[in-house]
């Protein structure tokens, strides 16, 4: 196990029955609050993709924090992938299912030039709905998915298979 994976797993918390009964929520806010944890996680998120992306997409909500930190680390910008209704102006969106409900994400379609290489960053890969929807949305906007990277993969939930693309995970539980 890598140093980054050990660091992330040591800081992560499991919250039972959140946001609904039966769900074991993996909380990575302690990783964000720890300076070494944040640095190590962000370095590991982007390492396999250095030089292959133009911008980092942070997926709402904790993906914003990891994405923005990783973008600052790499000297790139950050594209916010927001929940429906949170962005002003013209947007395009993608609906998907979560392990505990349904959701929709959106981006400004004119945010980036066509063909922009986008590295998607999120906190946790669970069932894969969010990452699959984000990848589809980025391609529909005319951009290219340069990679998918998450801090923590919950392998037992099968998200990697649902997404059907290569995914880099800093740690797995």
* Residue numbers annotated as active site: 62, 99
| Cα Rg of the chain (Å, integer) | 15
- The H or E element containing residue 14 is strand 13-16
Residue 23: CA atoms inside 13 Å, Cβ hemisphere, count?
A: 13
DSSP 3-state of 111:
coil
Sequence-ordered list of residues with C-beta below 8 angstroms from that of 85, at least 6 positions apart, any chain: 106
Q: The tokens of 136 are what?
A: 């589809």
Which has the closest alpha carbon to 8: 31, 29, 35, 25?
31
DSSP 3-state of 61:
coil
DSSP-H helix ranges across the chain? 3-11, 29-33, 35-46, 62-74, 129-140, 159-163
């Amino acid at each position: 196990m890598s140093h980054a994976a050990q660091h992330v797993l040591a800081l992560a918390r499991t919250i039972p029955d959140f946001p609904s009964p039966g769900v074991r929520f993996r909380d990575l806010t302690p990783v964000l609050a720890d300076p070494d944890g944040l640095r190590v996680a962000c370095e590991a998120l982007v390492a396999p993709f250095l030089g292959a992306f133009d911008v980092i997409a942070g997926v709402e909500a904790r993906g914003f924090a990891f994405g923005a930190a990783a973008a600052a680390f790499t000297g790139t910008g950050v594209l916010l992938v927001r929940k429906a209704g949170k962005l002003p102006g013209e947007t395009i969106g993608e609906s998907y299912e979560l392990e505990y409900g349904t959701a929709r994400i959106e981006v400004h379609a004119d945010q980036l030039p066509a063909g922009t290489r986008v590295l998607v960053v999120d906190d946790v890969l669970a069932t894969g709905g969010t990452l699959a929807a984000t990848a589809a949305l980025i391609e529909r906007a005319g951009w290219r998915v340069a990679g998918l990277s998450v801090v923590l993969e919950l392998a037992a939930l099968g998200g990697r298979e649902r997404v059907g693309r290569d995914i880099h995970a800093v740690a797995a539980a």
